[in-house]
Amino acid sequence: MGRYILKRMIQMIPIVILVSIVAFTLLHLAPGGPTGLMTANPKVSGDDIARIRENYGLDRPLLAQYFYWFRQVFLRFDFGRSYVNGREVSAMILERIPATLELMLSAFLAAVVIGGIFGVVSALKRGTVIDDILSIISIMGMSVPVFWLGLMAIYIFSLKTGLLPSGGRMTVGGEGSFIDHLAHLVLPASVLSLTYLATWSRYLRTGLIDAFRGDFILTARAKGLNEKTVIMKHALRNGILPAMNVVIMQIPTIFTGAVITETVFSWPGMGRLFYEGLQRQDYTRVLGIIVISSLLIIFFNFLGDLMNFIVDPRIKADERNGTDVTGSSILTTDYER
């Protein structure tokens, strides 16, 4: 396992560098450049623009700017200061990370639990009305855009019924109690989890149906084992692996999906901080969030590969044989079967 972990960590280095190069270049080539907000005022003279660019080091060649920025970010963890409010970008990001991780974890747990129940029930009731209803719910969950679903959730549960707050992490001016915080978390976590639970439930359904067709299920039933034991100890143990692989590999996408969800529900996480930075052309903030987000996504991918390596014996065999194990555990599954 040590050799596998070392190999995956080495593979991360060029990915991080490539992401930083692309993000840095695109943002600096955007119309107006990093100081577009400050220089867009017609009252700003050419001398003022030159002085601003010199103060921010933007008068140097782009390659020199990148190397200076790379050294500051990756060796000193210094993302610079916001062009808008002058605060350190690293402090702004550290303030928002807990809220984003909280939303991600809540959505992940909800998707795993509810998606698991949907998948098991749908497989056991295959071909029945219950299976059809759960299939329709899953297909709708995969098809409906997150932003539209979020707006509908706010309209129904906040504006019409008043059951849940429409946004934020706690009531403004309130005491910030656990119940109040939980009430604010329900809508964004539910909306963010819906797409994933819909997808994961279909993969689990297909895995269980395939498992029920296996010879080992016939053998277990022939031995006189009760149906509950057959399902829990034989079918579920074998049928859950395809769904588990999909769940592990889609963990990083929950982070990217949180950007839209946080914006719709005014959730004070990194996604909303990123959106506000784009709106106000705060390039140091945007670059910092892109780097941190990329590192988190790469880490979650690494964690997913590591979990696959632990639970899937085929990957261990491939590693011992010296073959490439990256992505080898993902099973192509027809979940509409």
Alpha helices in 144-214 (DSSP H): 146-154, 178-212
Q: Are residues 66 and 102 in the same domain?
A: no
Question: Which pLDDT score is estimated for 325?
Answer: 46
| CB of 37 closer than 8 Å to CB of 52 | no
Q: Are residues 115 and 68 in the same domain?
A: no
Q: Which two tokens stand for residue 317?
A: 């065999």
Asked whether residue 331 is domain-assigned, the answer is no
Asked whether residue 82 is domain-assigned, the answer is no
CA distance 140 to 9: 38
Question: Which pLDDT score is estimated for 330?
Answer: 35
Question: Which pLDDT score is estimated for 326?
Answer: 45
Residue 224 burial by Cβ neighbours in a 10 Å radius (0-12, 13-18, 19+): exposed
Closest CA to 246 of 308, 292, 185: 308
How do residues 294-334 score in pLDDT, each as one tens digit?
Answer: 887 788 777 777 776 676 655 555 555 555 444 433 333 43
Alpha helices in the chain (DSSP H): 2-29, 36-39, 46-55, 62-76, 89-124, 129-143, 146-154, 178-212, 215-222, 227-229, 236-264, 270-279, 283-311, 313-320
How do residues 38-72 score in pLDDT, each as one tens digit?
Answer: 666 667 677 777 777 777 777 788 888 888 888 88
Report the percentage of the chain scoring pLDDT > 70: 86
Q: Are residues 9 and 115 in the same domain?
A: no
Q: Which two tokens stand for residue 53?
A: 């660019």
Question: Which pLDDT score is estimated for 184?
Answer: 92
Q: Is pLDDT above 80 for 156? A: yes
303-72-41 Cα angle (round to 5):
110
Q: Are residues 68 and 102 in the same domain?
A: no
Asked whether residue 326 is domain-assigned, the answer is no
Question: Which pLDDT score is estimated for 302?
Answer: 79
Q: Are residues 311 and 235 in the same domain?
A: yes
The confidence band for 335, taking pLDDT boundaries of 50, 70 and 90, is very low
Count of other CB atoms within 10 angstroms of residue 227: 11
Asked whether residue 127 is domain-assigned, the answer is yes
How do residues 207-228 score in pLDDT, each as one tens digit?
Answer: 888 877 777 777 777 777 777 7
CA distance 213 to 217: 7
Q: Are residues 115 and 153 in the same domain?
A: yes
Report the percentage of the chain scoring pLDDT > 90: 13
Prediction pTM value: 0.76
pLDDT, greater one: 176 or 180: 180
pLDDT, greater one: 106 or 302: 106
Q: Are residues 59 and 196 in the same domain?
A: no
Q: Cα–Cα distances in Å, from 329 out to 11, 105, 200, 319, 325?
A: 18, 24, 16, 12, 8
3-class DSSP state of 276? helix
Question: Average pLDDT of the chain?
Answer: 80
CA distance 193 to 258: 10
What is the SS3 string spanning 85-102?
CCCEHHHHHHHHHHHHHH
How do residues 14-26 score in pLDDT, each as one tens digit?
Answer: 888 888 888 888 8
Q: Are residues 175 and 107 in the same domain?
A: yes
CATH number at residue 205: 1.10.3720.10
How many residues comprise the chain?
Answer: 337
Residue 104 burial by Cβ neighbours in a 10 Å radius (0-12, 13-18, 19+): buried
The confidence band for 190, taking pLDDT boundaries of 50, 70 and 90, is very high
Q: Is pLDDT above 70 for 77? A: yes
Asked whether residue 336 is domain-assigned, the answer is no
Q: Is pLDDT above 50 for 250? A: yes
Q: Which two tokens stand for residue 323?
A: 């073959």
Asked whether residue 334 is domain-assigned, the answer is no
Q: Are residues 182 and 218 in the same domain?
A: yes
Greatest mean pLDDT range, 2-11, 48-57, 135-144: 135-144
Q: Is pLDDT above 70 for 95? A: yes
Q: Are residues 127 and 257 in the same domain?
A: yes
* The total number of structural domains that make up the chain: 2
Q: Are residues 48 and 112 in the same domain?
A: no
Range of the domain at 59: 2-76
